Amino acid sequence: MTILAINGSPRKKWNTAQVLKSVLDGAAKAGAETKLVHLYDYDFKGCVSCFECKRIGGKNYGRCAVKDGLTPLLAEAAAADALVIGTPVYFGAETGETRSFIERLLFPYLTYTPGYAAIFPRKIPTAMVYTMNVPEDVMEQRNYGHMTGLAQGFMSRTFGACEVLTVNDTYQFDDYSKYLCTVWDAEAKAKRREEVFPQDLAKAFDLGERLAAGFKE
């Protein structure tokens, strides 16, 4: 029983990574084996639109034909009992590395048939974790729910189920005075970091427990 967490942030110890660690801590408490990997450690590109994963009778039918640094991770993700992908929000979307990974992960399993049925051979629980600088009201104003909903829909269609956890108004710097960042109230950011972020981590822990329970049922 293995839960794999994918960190799509270039920062290995900051918000997204910390939230993913809490997810895995919750899963580990529920008895799962866990692993965290960092996408920025891998040398890869997004989908190259070769369509070899869709070629009927082809040697790469149902799997990505591109051979690069991501190939072993795609195999590991396919073998996991649960999967969680975490990413900061850059310009209203996942990071470029995360988007490229999702393309390579999902496209081979989704078919050009009515309803775009998936051919992934099992049902596994999955989750998407989004960390972002903007507070909840701005996220709603900018309709970030459309972005997170698209990813949730594709993950659910492919694997069977997907939860979304959003972590808002995150703390970006240890010292805001070192950066041109006057739009934010540094004291308010620090206060939220101290008071609200632990609640976010607790939600992540609970998510990890649910992911672990999902493949025990």
Q: What SS3 state is found at 123?
A: coil
Residue-level pLDDT at 181: 87
CATH of the domain at 73: 3.40.50.360
- In this structure, are strands 124-131 and 82-90 parallel, antiparallel, or unpaired? parallel
| Residue 4 contacts residue 77 (beta carbons within 8 Å) | yes
Report how many domains make up the chain: 1
Q: What single-letter amino acid sits at 138?
A: V
The residue whose two tokens read 């590395």 is 97
> Does position 217 have pLDDT exceeding 80, yes or no?
no
Categorize the per-residue pLDDT at 173 as very low, low, confident or very high, splitting at 50, 70 and 90: confident
Task: For residue 49, give its domain range.
Answer: 2-213
> Does position 59 have pLDDT exceeding 80, yes or no?
yes
Residue-level pLDDT at 167: 96
Question: Can you give the pTM of this predicted structure?
Answer: 0.93
Residue-level pLDDT at 211: 94
Share of the chain above pLDDT 70, in %: 99
Measure CA 185 to chain center: 28
Quote the CA–CA distance of 199 and 179 in Å, as a whole number: 27
**Cβ atoms within 10 Å, residue 88:** 23
> Does position 215 have pLDDT exceeding 80, yes or no?
no
Residue-level pLDDT at 174: 85
**pLDDT 10s digits, 102-132:** 999 999 999 999 989 999 999 999 999 999 9
The C-alpha torsion from 80 through 33 and 11 to 199, rounded to 10°, is: 110
